[in-house]
Chains A and B, each alone.
Chain A
């Protein structure tokens, strides 16, 4: 686990976005986020402009991680679906494959049943897409040699006491 960094390619994200859009249309949900279990945002679709998706991704991953520990305490390996109900907006989260979380935000224009139905279907398709990509891809591309040096210059500019 310590060395399997998440690498997402453009072509993969295009396919993922297609699936997410199809789900949003079908379930009539507001937006969807695909989040790595480590808290990194992979992609997002729908009305996310007013959302702090970076923080949301970290908190969703944290929420899922803590729920997994709760599941273990009651004898379950993990809870595959999480649902947060609000006054207007609700969040449905489900596991995708081994390491991703699909979060769908929706309101009262649709129902939990519709979201759950489409999210389940989409999660299966996403998991299959990840599997196909994992088999097809080789080693990730090399990072530029001077990435750390160039970052250091930026850091010196930004982090000034």
Chain B
């Protein structure tokens, strides 16, 4: 029911305008929006179709000011009236505090009124509401039209439980505010009736610290300025223990930046004047096509050693920070990628 936020000092109620299609629910909200002072209401949001028929809901927040230290806020919703939108209509009713049923007073709309009212009761019951306990006001709309049914006849068919009723004409505003004022009053009275006596336990809830399994203070400055460490080593010290894979997977900068170095190195070393004898021809072979065929696994393995050893000593093209410094031997990127042994 009514939402009470003791931190923000506000009471918030949800009021839904229900009724058959084209009965004037959205027009009610549009009139309220146009007449209420700007500092009292928020933006009117309509989730509507191209033809301005409500598709999901209209939403208008209203803040009537501070009462007993609490901001009294009301959220006005409409539902789509067409029969086939019952799924979305039901969603809007979730957590409702009061309902305005907008009935169309025209004779040919009576069946739709009855069907919509039955649908309202059915949806409320599915949510666990007892319709007799929920504040409901019936608005008999379109009273300004010429051939409308008399109020007695509408009441006889739509209001057997003597719910409060207002005659209205939403396009010109007659009865719109009366309806709203009454439903707000009924909602607040209901909230008062259902609120329980104050208890000391609720007045002073103590906050216990929830223990965290890991501290995980993510380092504020980006880890990018650590270029010396190689890819794997750079990612390892991150304090986010649970899912380092997700982290490195989405972070663009730390991870694989140093991997291509291994591919550059053979090309750079190919013309080297003093390579170790067995490695030189292999490096030359590998350089033009890094994805070596699996028929030469033994040869490819050997090219790592001289490259790693020489890249520190004589590789003028490479930045010093990218050189490998005494790391254990690693298999090449493409070998790991394609599962070459």
Chain A residues close to B by CB (< 8 Å): 1-15, 25-27, 36-40, 42-43, 52, 54-55, 58-59, 62, 65-66, 69, 111-114, 116-117, 121, 125, 128-129, 132-133, 136-148, 150-152, 154-156, 158-161
Whether B231 is near chain A, meaning CB under 8 Å from some CB there, is: no
Which one of B4, B56, B177, B196 contacts A159 once the chains associate, using CB atoms below 8 Å?
A: B177
Whether B313 is near chain A, meaning CB under 8 Å from some CB there, is: no
**A137 contacts B205, C-beta separation under 8 Å:** yes
**B212 contacts A125, C-beta separation under 8 Å:** yes
Within 8 A of A (CB), among B14-31: 14
**B7 contacts A160, C-beta separation under 8 Å:** no
Q: Bound complex: CA of A155 vs CA of B180, how far in Å?
A: 9
Q: Contacts A1-B127, A116-B246 hold; do A151 and B206 have CB atoms under 8 A apart?
A: no
- In the assembled complex, which residues on chain B have CB atoms less than 8 Å from the CB atom of A37? 94-95
**B205 contacts A136, C-beta separation under 8 Å:** yes
Which one of A7, A52, A133, A150 contacts B4 once the chains associate, using CB atoms below 8 Å?
A: A7
Report the number of A-B residue pairs with Cβ-Cβ less than 8 Å: 221
- 8 more A-B residue pairs beyond the given contacts A9-B6, A11-B205, A142-B197, with a C-beta to C-beta distance below 8 A: A12-B7, A59-B59, A66-B88, A69-B91, A141-B198, A143-B195, A148-B192, A158-B36
Q: Which of A7, A13, A42, A155 has the most CB of B within 10 A?
A: A155
Which one of B92, B205, B247 contacts A113 once the chains associate, using CB atoms below 8 Å?
A: B247
Within 8 A of A (CB), among B185-210: 185, 188-189, 191-192, 194-208, 210
Q: Which of B6, B72, B129, B249 has the most CB of A within 10 A?
A: B6
Distance (whole angstroms) from the CB of A104 to the closest CB of chain B: 15
Q: Bound complex: CA of A11 vs CA of B129, how far in Å?
A: 31
**A26 contacts B129, C-beta separation under 8 Å:** no
Q: Contacts A26-B216, A161-B177 hold; do A8 and B250 have CB atoms under 8 A apart?
A: no
Within 8 A of A (CB), among B244-282: 246-247, 249-251
Whether B42 is near chain A, meaning CB under 8 Å from some CB there, is: yes
Distance (whole angstroms) from the CB of B122 to the closest CB of chain A: 15
Q: Contacts A143-B192, A151-B184 hold; do A158 and B91 have CB atoms under 8 A apart?
A: no
- In the assembled complex, which residues on chain B have CB atoms less than 8 Å from the CB atom of A144? 68, 192
- In the assembled complex, which residues on chain B have CB atoms less than 8 Å from the CB atom of A62? 47, 56-57, 91-92
**A36 contacts B6, C-beta separation under 8 Å:** no
Whether B65 is near chain A, meaning CB under 8 Å from some CB there, is: yes
What 6 A-B pairs come out closest when comparing CB atoms?
A: A38-B95, A113-B250, A139-B196, A13-B7, A138-B199, A148-B188
**A2 contacts B130, C-beta separation under 8 Å:** yes
Chain B residues close to A by CB (< 8 Å): 1-8, 11-12, 14, 32, 35-37, 40, 42-43, 45, 47, 56-57, 59, 61, 64-65, 67-68, 70, 72-73, 75, 77, 87-88, 91-92, 94-95, 127-130, 133-134, 173-174, 177, 180-181, 184-185, 188-189, 191-192, 194-208, 210, 212, 216-218, 220, 240, 242-243, 246-247, 249-251
12 contacts between A and B (CB under 8 A): A8-B3, A8-B8, A12-B207, A38-B14, A114-B247, A114-B250, A121-B242, A132-B208, A141-B6, A141-B199, A159-B181, A161-B173
- In the assembled complex, which residues on chain A have CB atoms less than 8 Å from the CB atom of B197? 139, 142
Name the residue of chain A whose CB is nearest to the CB of B127.
Answer: A1
**A113 contacts B246, C-beta separation under 8 Å:** yes
Name the residue of chain A whose CB is nearest to the CB of B125.
Answer: A2
Q: Bound complex: CA of A40 vs CA of B217, how far in Å?
A: 31
Q: Bound complex: CA of A32 vs CA of B85, how far in Å?
A: 32
Q: Bound complex: CA of A129 vs CA of B129, how far in Å?
A: 28
- In the assembled complex, which residues on chain B have CB atoms less than 8 Å from the CB atom of A58? 45, 59, 61, 75, 77
**A3 contacts B94, C-beta separation under 8 Å:** no
Q: Bound complex: CA of A108 vs CA of B191, how far in Å?
A: 44
Q: Contacts A143-B192, A147-B192, A151-B72 hold; do A159 and B43 have CB atoms under 8 A apart?
A: no
Name the residue of chain A whose CB is nearest to the CB of B73.
Answer: A54
Q: Bound complex: CA of A15 vs CA of B206, how far in Å?
A: 10
Q: Bound complex: CA of A87 vs CA of B94, how far in Å?
A: 32
Distance (whole angstroms) from the CB of A120 to the closest CB of chain B: 9
Name the residue of chain B whose CB is nearest to the CB of A58.
Answer: B59
**A117 contacts B246, C-beta separation under 8 Å:** yes
Distance (whole angstroms) from the CB of B182 to the closest CB of chain A: 10
Q: Bound complex: CA of A160 vs CA of B133, how far in Å?
A: 29
**A154 contacts B246, C-beta separation under 8 Å:** no
Q: Contacts A36-B3, A158-B37 hold; do A25 and B218 have CB atoms under 8 A apart?
A: yes
- In the assembled complex, which residues on chain B have CB atoms less than 8 Å from the CB atom of A116? 246
- In the assembled complex, which residues on chain A have CB atoms less than 8 Å from the CB atom of B208? 132
